[in-house]
Structure 1
Amino acid sequence: MTYLVHTAHAQLCALWAGCVGWTLTAVALGLIQWRVWQVSDREIITSGEAWVGLWRACFNSHSLVSPGFVATHCQYIGLTEAFTPPEIVAGQVLMLLSLLVGLCGNAGGVYALRNIYFGMKTSPIRLLCVITGGLSLLSAATSLIPLLWNVSSVVTNQTIRFPPEFKMPPAPDSQSVGFGIGVGVVGAVLMAVSGIVFCSYRLPVRSQLGALPTLRHDVYLERSAGSGTLTDMRGRDNPAFESHEQL
């Protein structure tokens, strides 16, 4: 059984990065601070700031509740609504797809490292790492598309024609990139790094496999060291046999 643990330290770190990146992608999907709108009319949006996410549009208001209290007013943004812009539709679909693909990629990474660390097989390890890396890269690309698309909409100050029940202004005075997009970009970068590291995994060359230590050999040497003697797999000479040879 070939010892390959020392060849997969970078992949173990990549699996950790992929799990963190997948978690950040899931967090970004639920955040409402994708696009931050600044408005001058504070009759309803008393804070002067509204947030547009993939699933909801929200703002804080004093006028919608009793005086002295603050309420967060949110409305759901549907996938098939006529007012929903294409960048938000793409975000709702592609971010969910990115989570599914990233989950499969991380599961493949766990299985590949299991084979490496427990010496299950050597033939499919390279293929497993390539599949894991490909899924991680696909997940990163799938989430980056809506993230960068929404950044472009913010930079060009694109508006959204919300229905009256949203109580949102027809256009913001200005808007900026929110915290949600930043979290999503960091998650996508970590997934991409994880994919690149897994794709770069290489098994030791076949000519060197015989020189690599084996688990059985390591255990034998440890037991021999514990007994205070240094031996190898060849064993010891038999003194009785040597005396018989001299006769």
Structure 2
Amino acid sequence: MFTVMMILFNKDFNYQVGGFALSTIAWILCITSMGLPQWRVWYLKEAAISYPSVAFVGVWKTCLYHYDNSSNIRTCYQYSYYDTFIPLDIRISQHLLLITSIFWLIGKVATIVALRNVYRGRQEQNATHNAFGLSAILNIIASSFVFLAVLCNYFSIVNKEGIAFPPSFHMPLYPHNQKAGAAMGVAFLSAVLFLFSGVIFISSTVPLNIVDFPDI
């Protein structure tokens, strides 16, 4: 009983739990950004439509919106990991985000093991420190991978690069104008939270010096 109370009031232990929570939120945001098409917003001009069409170009799909005075038509096209028309920046983003999910899963297991050792008052210092250290390294790497995915797409927007979509997508090679979408913001926030989580695991001290008092 006293051991549990000492752990709960230990600031370092609370930091570790907070780092675990941050990494979980970061992973959720990362997965969410992968499923969103709004990585790049393309503005297209079509003579047959009174207003410019808008296309959302994501990591795994593209959605095209046609606007007129009376309706809003949405058409989405999925593309897989093996499609040959996918440009290098999107291909790199697919790799980076998938590897990030794997790293997070390994780091999550390591963090759970370390927190369990601390909660049970075990004095396995090397094992616990190594588990937190592994989780910290993986979270920082995950942060850099997500940030690189954001940078790849951002530089493609800045350089006004086009995409040679297949004819079935009904998409031009280049948009009239393009900008960063909301999914890039979600991914960037994920990278920041991954980084904070890794820094917390590195900077905070694991509360190993716990004395187990018998119940009275």
Q: TM-score range by the shorter chain?
A: 0.7 to 0.9
Aligned to 1:96: 98
Q: Does 1:54 align with 2:56?
A: no
Aligned to 2:81: 79
Contact 1:129–1:201 (Cα < 8 Å) also in 2: no
Aligned to 1:139: 142
Q: Secondary structure at the match of 1:158?
A: coil
Where does the alignment leave 5 or more consecutive residues of structure 2 unmatched?
none
Q: Secondary structure at the match of 1:215?
A: coil
Q: Return the index of the structure with the highest Cα Rg.
A: 1
Aligned to 1:15: 20
Aligned to 2:189: 186
TM-score, normalised to structure 1, is 0.76
Distance in 1 (alpha carbons) for counterparts of 2:51 and 2:111:
49
After superposition, what is the alpha-carbon deviation per residue over 1:32-84, rounded to whole angstroms, capped at 9, x for unaligned? 00000012225369552111001111112369xxx955431111223333321
Distance in 2 (alpha carbons) for counterparts of 1:216 and 1:47:
72
Pair 1:45–1:77, CA change in 2 (3 A): farther
Count residues with an aligned counterpart.
210
Aligned residue runs from structure 1 range 80-229, under 5 A = 80-123=82-125, 124-203=127-206, 209=209, 214-216=211-213, 219-220=215-216
Q: Indicate which of 41, 50, 63 corresponds to 2:46.
A: 41
Pair 1:37–1:204, CA change in 2 (3 A): closer
RMSD: 2.5
Q: Read off the aligned partner of 2:123 and give its amino acid letter.
A: K
Q: Secondary structure at the match of 1:57?
A: strand
Where does the alignment leave 5 or more consecutive residues of structure 1 unmatched?
221-247
Of 167-176 and 71-80, deviating more is: 71-80
TM-score, normalised to structure 2, is 0.86
Contact 1:18–1:191 (Cα < 8 Å) also in 2: yes
The sequence identity of aligned pairs, in percent, is: 27
Q: Indicate which of 32, 35, 45 corresponds to 2:37.
A: 32
Distance in 2 (alpha carbons) for counterparts of 1:130 and 1:44:
56
More contact order relative to length (CA 8 Å, sep ≥ 6):
2
Report deviation, 1:215: 2.7
Pair 1:110–1:45, CA change in 2 (3 A): farther
Contact 2:53–2:66 (Cα < 8 Å) also in 1: no
Distance in 1 (alpha carbons) for counterparts of 2:34 and 2:50:
24
Q: Read off the aligned partner of 2:110 and give its amino acid letter.
A: G
Of 38-47 and 153-162, deviating more is: 38-47
Distance in 2 (alpha carbons) for counterparts of 1:42 and 1:202:
64
Q: Read off the aligned partner of 1:34 and give its amino acid letter.
A: W
Contact 1:106–1:136 (Cα < 8 Å) also in 2: no
Contact 1:28–1:184 (Cα < 8 Å) also in 2: yes
Q: Read off the aligned partner of 1:39 and give its amino acid letter.
A: L
Contact 1:143–1:184 (Cα < 8 Å) also in 2: yes
